[in-house]
């Protein structure tokens, strides 16, 4: 890859802003959690998880000993506002001075929601490849609508990437979580505020995950593949937190919030179709993607989804066929910036193909 290629034909102007976060990466790094709590000057940690990962949260409480003042195992998909409010009251009643979140995007989102309301520092221990731990972005759902906002208060202060925490992630969820991460890097390549630093990280991240995810599907205990995937997911999270997103993320927020669809599976299904829609307007990004995915990147992403055993269509997630037109209308009602103008017939066709599980319509 030639990082100077963009400068050979015409000058390129850009702005790059780095988000401050402390990252600790490697196997066994969970053991450093007590030191990180101390480093923040905290003494009363509230530990967050989903109900399914309550056991993991309680093990962290044992590790922290007297530093842990409680466990809140109520994180839920799409970060419902009522749960965020309830958990915030819990943090205040316990006089917590640091939040420790273990899990995927649901738990990370809950920690961010509490931090936005209280300005408490956050330590995140990811167990999936969601990447949201590296962003100052929060999406919360109320009355069937998912709304996002950004604030420095939302960005976690410390992220501990312990590769061993991902070994228990089921192969299927590993695949969809990893493709969800890839989506962040793909859209970063054609973001309105893209820059050479994020371009380089995005290509590196996509290449790492594209190679690692099929290997994990074949052997979920492959520690080397798990390490590559977590490394790629971290870089994808940096991309997501550094530049704006476009049509793909708008559609996934619309579909997830409106039809209560699972987050990573929705991203996995929609990504190839959203990329194919935008392909004619992003030749530079498609060239970069071809370096790591092959000559037809949208088709390659569709094949990776099949290689990891992910559902092919939104109908497989429970979305009704009658929701196709509603989703198109919602996506057009408050659209994100996108490199290709949003045209309802083409957008509806994109959603219909994603619903049916058809291959992306590449140009």
Instruction: Return the pLDDT at 2.
Output: 52
| Cα 81 to Cα 104, 150, 246, 262, distances in angstroms | 18, 16, 24, 17
Q: What does CATH list as the number for 22-166? A: 3.40.50.1970
Q: For residue 14, how far is the Cα from the chain centroid?
A: 24
Instruction: Return the pLDDT at 11.
Output: 60
- Per the prediction, the chain carries an average pLDDT of 94
Report the C-alpha gap between 325 and 232 in whole angstroms. 35
Over range 210-238, report the average pLDDT: 97
Over range 279-303, report the average pLDDT: 97
Cβ distance 131 to 92 under 8 Å?
no
**Statement: residue 257 has pLDDT above 90:** no
User: Residue 130: beta bridge partners?
Assistant: none
**H-type helices in 78-222, by residue range?**
81-93, 105-118, 171-189, 196-218
CA dihedral 109, 114, 117, 122 (to 10 degrees): -90
Cβ distance 116 to 37 under 8 Å?
no
pLDDT band per the 50, 70, 90 thresholds, residue 1: very low
Answer with the residue of higher pLDDT: 229 or 20: 229
Cβ distance 277 to 172 under 8 Å?
no
For the purposes of burial, counting CB atoms within 10 Å of the CB of 20, is it exposed (0-12), middle (13-18) or buried (19 or more)?
A: exposed
Cβ distance 145 to 198 under 8 Å?
no
Report the C-alpha gap between 156 and 9 in whole angstroms. 39
Over range 217-222, report the average pLDDT: 96
Residue carrying structure tokens 């809140």: 72
pLDDT band per the 50, 70, 90 thresholds, residue 9: low
Give residue-wise pLDDT tens across range 127-149. Answer: 999 888 999 999 898 987 878 89
Give residue-wise pLDDT tens across range 320-361. Answer: 999 999 999 999 987 789 999 999 999 999 999 999 999 999
| Cα 95 to Cα 5, 45, 47, 246, distances in angstroms | 53, 9, 13, 39
The total of other beta-carbon atoms located within 10 Å of residue 158's CB is: 22
Residue 255 token pair: 């579909």
Over range 259-285, report the average pLDDT: 96
Fold of 171-356: Dehydroquinate synthase-like, alpha domain (1.20.1090)
Report the SS3 class of residue 92: helix
Domain boundaries, the chain: 22-166, 171-356
Report the C-alpha gap between 218 and 220 in whole angstroms. 7
- The H or E element spanning position 233 is helix 223-242
Report the C-alpha gap between 303 and 309 in whole angstroms. 10
Residue 319 token pair: 């979305």
């Amino acid at each position: 890859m030639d990082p100077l290629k963009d400068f050979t034909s015409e000058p390129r102007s850009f702005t790059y802003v780095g988000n401050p976060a402390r990252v600790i990466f490697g196997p066994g790094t969970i053991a450093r959690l007590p030191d990180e709590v101390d480093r923040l000057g905290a003494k009363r940690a509230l530990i967050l998880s989903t109900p399914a990962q309550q056991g993991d949260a309680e093990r962290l409480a044992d590790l922290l000993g007297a530093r842990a003042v409680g466990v809140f195992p109520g994180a839920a998909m799409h970060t419902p506002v009522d749960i965020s409010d309830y958990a915030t009251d819990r943090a205040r009643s316990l006089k917590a001075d640091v939040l420790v979140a273990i899990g995927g995007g649901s738990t990370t989102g809950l920690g961010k929601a509490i931090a936005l309301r209280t300005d408490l520092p956050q330590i995140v221990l990811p167990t999936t490849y969601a990447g949201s731990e590296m962003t100052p972005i929060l999406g919360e759902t109320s009355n069937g609508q998912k709304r996002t906002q950004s604030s420095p208060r939302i960005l976690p202060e410390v992220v501990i990437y312990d590769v061993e925490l991902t070994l228990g992630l089921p192969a299927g969820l590993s695949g969809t979580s990893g493709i969800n991460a890839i989506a962040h890097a793909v859209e970063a390549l054609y973001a309105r505020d893209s820059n050479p630093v994020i371009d380089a990280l995005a290509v590196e991240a996509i290449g790492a995950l594209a190679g690692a995810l099929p290997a994990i599907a074949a052997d979920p205990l492959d520690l080397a593949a798990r390490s590559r995937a977590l490394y790629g997911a971290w870089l994808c999270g940096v991309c997501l937190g550094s530049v704006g997103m476009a049509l793909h993320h708008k559609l996934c927020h619309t579909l997830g919030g409106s039809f209560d669809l699972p987050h990573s599976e929705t991203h996995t299904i929609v990504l190839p179709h959203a990329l194919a829609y935008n392909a004619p307007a992003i030749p530079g990004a498609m060239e970069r993607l071809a370096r790591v995915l092959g000559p037809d990147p949208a088709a390659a992403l569709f094949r990776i989804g099949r290689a990891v055993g992910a559902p092919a269509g939104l109908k497989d997630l429970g979305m009704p066929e009658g929701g196709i037109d509603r989703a198109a209308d919602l996506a057009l009602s408050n659209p994100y910036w996108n490199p290709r103008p949003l045209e309802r017939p083409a957008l509806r066709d994109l959603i219909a193909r994603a619903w049916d599980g058809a291959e992306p319509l590449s140009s």
